[in-house]
Each structure stands twice: as structure tokens, then as C-alpha cells.
Chain A
């Protein structure tokens, strides 16, 4: 009986119906763009052939396509498209989690220094020609160190304002880029330097299925844990002290969330270098679509991020004959888009 009244006095039912509609549209969009990504490029493959080639692995379908088509899809396009989905979804999710946890809509994996920290860790591992697993571990360690410093600075200053955390991120970012400079300077100009610079700019061109076997489980596991904490993130976004008086074990929950969000960012960095803007812009776009409630925002941000990243990757390989680095395109699209978001939200950012 109570729930009859409940439905009437609030618009909750209507808003969750709207959310379901938006999610259905986003999922359809993601599926569409996923297959589009398999078809376009220097070697174009008809849209329905690409679907059939995938389905042929599961169902007995008579092949009406060439061996080359199949090779292009399985060896090149499928791994990079899956990587784009994982990176986009992961970065958007980690950005949304950081923004809620720090009660600060202006932070992102790049602004907190996580990306550059992870980049340093991974570069060091590349410099010493380590294997993929070690590279990933070092990327994670670099990311964790960077975010720990960023979080420690406002604490030392006894200043928990939005601005202080952003400034601290700027400090750490500056420090990290200098360290990165030292690493590049000492790297062998003929081999390691070129590889490092190219990798750090971000590209999915060289992603192979084997890379995904190492990294996809990390991204999926960390993402899953963050999604489990989606309601706790709402409470944390009220601020540390309020969350504590509401019974949240703030210290430990924050630790878990920082570890997972950093793992997501570090994994993305391992796959394709530092890709900026996704973790900042996509959560904002998500909030415009489904509101700030993390129960809705996190799933929406994952899918939006994935769609965005696949689109960026398609653009990267179609725009020019030599592939453009991803971070250049995300910046070209992300920065003006963020400016537009700021104009729209100027009332709510103080």
C-alpha cells in the first residue's frame, strides 16, 4: 500500500523508465558502432559480412567472404575494437568514480596525475625491456604513487577544497612530465625513445589479442568492483565527514575505490598510452543524460566511454592515411566539448 503512494508522490518511477530507455539506446548504439569499427578502414569489409564472419565462429555459416577479410577482422580490427571498448569504458568509469569519491567534478585520471604516473611506470618497464605483465604492474605502481601524492598534498595543507585538489593534481602532473622527460632523455634515441614516444601518444594500431588476455581481466575485475560500490560512491560524494556520520567506513572504501580506479587507468595506459579527456568529459556527459546518481551514472558512463573511444579510433584510422595518435583526437574533440559542458553547467560549479 505504501508503495502505491510512493509511486505517486515522487517522479522516481518516471525517471527510472527514462533511464532504461537511454540505456537501451546506448547499448544499441554501442553494438552498431562496434560492427562499424570492424568494417571501416583502409581495407573495407561490407557491414553484414563482418557480422557473419563473427557469427561463423559460433554457428555453421557457409563462408561468402575471402580469407583476407577474416584475417583483417580477427587479427587487426577485433582486438583494437575490443581494446577501444575496454579503454573507453574503463577510463570513463574511473573518471566518474574519482569525481564522486573526491566530491569534485573537475578531476579525472589525467588531472590527478594517475595517467602520467602510470605512463612513467610503464616507460621504465619498457626502457628495461620488461614483459607485458611487468609493464602493467609498473604502470599500476606509478599510477598509485602519483594519486597518493595528489591526495596527500591537500591533506598536508589541511585544505579539502575542490580547487586545492585540482592544484595538487597540476603539481603532480608537472612533476610527472618532468620525470618523463628525464626518462626520454636517457632513452636510446634509435630504439626505445621512438617506441616510448609513439606508445605514449596513444595508438590502438598494434593491439593484439594476446595483449587483451593480460589486460582485459584486470579492467573487467576492477570495473566490476567499482560498479558494486556505486551506491557507496553516492554517499561518499556528499563529502568525507558526512559519509562517515552516515556509517560509511570511509578510509577503507576510499582505498578500494582508488585501487580499482587506478588499476583501470593503468590498464588503459598499458594498452594504448595516455589518452586524455575521456575520463573527464564522459562522466559529465553521463550526468547530463541520466543525472548524478552513480547507480545510473556508472553504467551509462561505461557505455558512453566505450562508444566515444570506438568512434575516436575509427576517426584515427580514417582521417588520414597515416594513423593519428588517439590522444590528439580526444583532445581536439574533448577540449571544446568540455568547454561547452562548462558553459551549460556554469551555475552548478562553484
Chain B
């Protein structure tokens, strides 16, 4: 499987200004791409285009050479799984019932999940290590647990590409680190992972590729270690930032320089 994004451009209907344009990159199994950008730069919009929720104005998204535009949502869902940023549940489904909904693309229009689908859901919960939540109502677990459960749902979906919209946004510090580790683990087990984030440190920890979306809608793409620099990050966020090497952690970290 290979996902390719070619010269993608998007603006909302009735708005002239392109949110982003000429976004091109590719991703293979086992890779992680983090997308950095300021608030309102269009990170989530880009992700929504890849999730087939928005239709790009220009350019194309190809899965193994097939255009996303020509595929039905059911087919797309077998390739691309999406973990939204916040999920406000309206109904108290049990965690198992929620995770098994990841099987929807494999279930016929009038069918209901079979035993095999439940096994896949349980396997996904086991893989993330949250089987203890299985019978809990989805409305009564914490935000961090909910995020984990949604990731379990995407695993039950068995896609090739997993899109995560700011997976660390609503998590406490410990959970942010654990989430970053989980993202790396998912990629190492063969998924292609694309996530948006506000934390340069998380990008560095993931040790893979980064795409930077600036306010003018330009997209810079490459290996994090090659691209991330003091000047790029300072320009992006309009504050003085410095990458400092930490001996104990054996990696760079991004620190505000003067404030």
C-alpha cells in the first residue's frame, strides 16, 4: 500500500483564499508523518481531505494509484481510518459496541456484526491494553480512555493508513507521552500513520517525517531531523524557539528561547 498526495489545494466554499495549496507527499506502511502548523493553518482540513470528508479543490489523493475521489466511502474506509479530535457521545454505547463499529466497512448494509467482528474488536482492545474497559459505557470513561478506545476502534477497522487529528490535544502530560509511544508502535507494526500536532517535541520523539503547514498555505515536507531548525520553528510560531540537545534523552528538545 502506498498513499500519495499530489498538488493538493483546498478552500471552503464561498471563500476565495486557499487554505493550502500544492501539498504533495507520499507515505508507506511503517511510516509516521506529523503535521505541524499554527492554529487555523489548516492541519485538520488537510487531514479531513485525506479522510475523504472534504473534497479537495485541486490535486488528488491516490491509494495504490487509485484516486480517492472515485472510490465509495466503504472502500475508502477499508484503507483509511480516522481518529477525530474530540468525540462528544450522545448515547451510552458500551466500549465493546463502540469499538465493533470499526467493523462497519466489512458489514453489509442490512447486516449486524458477527462473532468474527467481535473477536476483531476484542483483539484491538487487547492490543491497546484496555480490555478492562470492555463493558463500561462509553460516556462514563475519561477523555484519555475515550481516545484510546477510539484508536482501538480504528484498529478493528484494519485500515492501512491511520489519521489522527491532534491525538495529544486533550491529554495530560503522561498520557501525551504514552500516546506518542503508541503512535510509534502502530507504525512499527505496519500502519502508515499521519497525525497533526502542536508539539515539536512529539515530532522529534517520533523520529520520522514531518510536514509543516505555514499561514500562507505552503507545505514543507521531509525527515524531521533534516527539516526542523531553530529558524523554521521560530518563524512558524513567531516566537523565539531553540532546539537544544539533551544528553540524557539522546535527542533534541524544543524550548522557548526568550520570553
**Count, A-B residue pairs, CB within 8 A:** 102
CA distance A3 to B157 in the complex (A): 19
Q: Does B73 contact A (CB under 8 A)?
A: yes
Q: Which of B72, B90, B115, B135 has the most CB of A within 10 A?
A: B90
CA distance A128 to B39 in the complex (A): 60
| Chain A hits for B97, CB < 8 A | 234, 293
Instruction: Please state if B134 and A9 are interface contacts (CB–CB under 8 Å).
Output: yes
Q: Does A317 contact B (CB under 8 A)?
A: no
Q: Which residue of B lies closest to A14 (CB)?
A: B135
Complex interface bits, A1-29 against B, C-beta within 8 A gives 1, otherwise 0 = 01101100111100100000000000000
| Chain A hits for B52, CB < 8 A | 244-245
Instruction: Please state if A231 and B74 are interface contacts (CB–CB under 8 Å).
Output: no
Instruction: Please state if B91 and A100 are interface contacts (CB–CB under 8 Å).
Output: yes
CA distance A27 to B72 in the complex (A): 41
Known: A2-B119, A9-B131, A9-B134. Is A244-B73 also a contact (CB below 8 A)? yes
What range describes how many residues of A lie at the interface?
35 or more
Q: Which residue of B lies closest to A294 (CB)?
A: B91
A235: contacting residue among B81, B92, B104, B110, CB under 8 A: B104
A316 to chain B, nearest CB (A): 33
B80 to chain A, nearest CB (A): 8
Q: Which residue of A lies closest to B53 (CB)?
A: A241
A residues 146-191 touching B (CB-CB < 8 Å):
162
Known: A9-B131, A10-B134, A103-B90. Is A232-B101 also a contact (CB below 8 A)? no
Instruction: Please state if A245 and B91 are interface contacts (CB–CB under 8 Å).
Output: no
CA distance A103 to B48 in the complex (A): 20
| Chain A hits for B84, CB < 8 A | 241-242, 245
Instruction: Please state if B122 and A247 are interface contacts (CB–CB under 8 Å).
Output: no
| Chain B hits for A100, CB < 8 A | 91
Instruction: Please state if B96 and A10 are interface contacts (CB–CB under 8 Å).
Output: yes
A249: contacting residue among B72, B111, B113, CB under 8 A: B72
Q: Which residue of A lies closest to B103 (CB)?
A: A246
Q: Does A254 contact B (CB under 8 A)?
A: no
B232 to chain A, nearest CB (A): 32
Q: Does B88 contact A (CB under 8 A)?
A: yes
Q: Which of B72, B75, B92 has the most CB of A within 10 A?
A: B92
A10: contacting residue among B73, B109, B135, CB under 8 A: B135
Instruction: Please state if A231 and B111 are interface contacts (CB–CB under 8 Å).
Output: yes
Known: A2-B119, A9-B122. Is A238-B78 also a contact (CB below 8 A)? no
Q: Does A37 contact B (CB under 8 A)?
A: no
Known: A11-B135, A249-B72, A293-B97. Is A237-B90 also a contact (CB below 8 A)? yes
A349 to chain B, nearest CB (A): 9
| Chain A hits for B134, CB < 8 A | 9-11
Complex interface bits, B152-182 against A, C-beta within 8 A gives 1, otherwise 0 = 0000010000000000000000000000000
Q: Does A105 contact B (CB under 8 A)?
A: yes
B10 to chain A, nearest CB (A): 16
Known: A10-B134, A245-B77, A249-B72. Is A287-B112 also a contact (CB below 8 A)? no
CA distance A246 to B135 in the complex (A): 22
Q: Does B62 contact A (CB under 8 A)?
A: no
Instruction: Please state if A245 and B51 are interface contacts (CB–CB under 8 Å).
Output: yes
Known: A245-B82, A293-B93. Is A348-B139 also a contact (CB below 8 A)? yes
CA distance A212 to B74 in the complex (A): 40
Q: Does A77 contact B (CB under 8 A)?
A: no
Q: Does B144 contact A (CB under 8 A)?
A: no
B residues 100-139 touching A (CB-CB < 8 Å):
101-102, 104-105, 107, 109-113, 115, 118-119, 122, 131, 134-135, 139
Instruction: Please state if A6 and B82 are interface contacts (CB–CB under 8 Å).
Output: no
CA distance A295 to B119 in the complex (A): 19
Q: Does A230 contact B (CB under 8 A)?
A: yes
A14 to chain B, nearest CB (A): 9
Instruction: Please state if A237 and B91 are interface contacts (CB–CB under 8 Å).
Output: yes
CA distance A155 to B113 in the complex (A): 32
Q: Does B76 contact A (CB under 8 A)?
A: yes
A247: contacting residue among B48, B73, B131, CB under 8 A: B73
CA distance A162 to B237 in the complex (A): 35
Q: Which residue of B lies closest to A241 (CB)?
A: B53
CA distance A241 to B122 in the complex (A): 24
Known: A231-B111, A246-B105. Is A12-B118 also a contact (CB below 8 A)? yes
Q: Does B250 contact A (CB under 8 A)?
A: no
Instruction: Please state if A235 and B101 are interface contacts (CB–CB under 8 Å).
Output: yes
If A103-B90, A237-B91, A241-B53 are given as contacts, then 14 extra A-B residue pairs at C-beta distance below 8 Å, sorted by A number, are: A3-B119, A6-B118, A6-B122, A10-B94, A10-B118, A105-B90, A231-B111, A234-B101, A237-B90, A242-B87, A244-B52, A245-B77, A246-B102, A248-B104
What are 24 A-B contacts defined by CB distance under 8 Å?
A5-B122, A6-B115, A6-B119, A10-B118, A10-B134, A10-B135, A12-B96, A105-B90, A228-B109, A231-B112, A232-B109, A234-B97, A235-B104, A237-B91, A238-B87, A239-B87, A242-B87, A245-B81, A247-B74, A247-B78, A253-B109, A292-B93, A293-B97, A350-B88
Among all A-B residue pairs, the 9 with the closest Cβ atoms: A247-B77, A247-B105, A292-B91, A245-B82, A247-B74, A246-B104, A228-B110, A231-B112, A11-B135
Q: Interface of A with B (CB < 8 Å)?
A: 2-3, 5-6, 9-12, 15, 100, 103-105, 162, 228-232, 234-235, 237-239, 241-242, 244-250, 253, 287, 291-293, 295, 348, 350
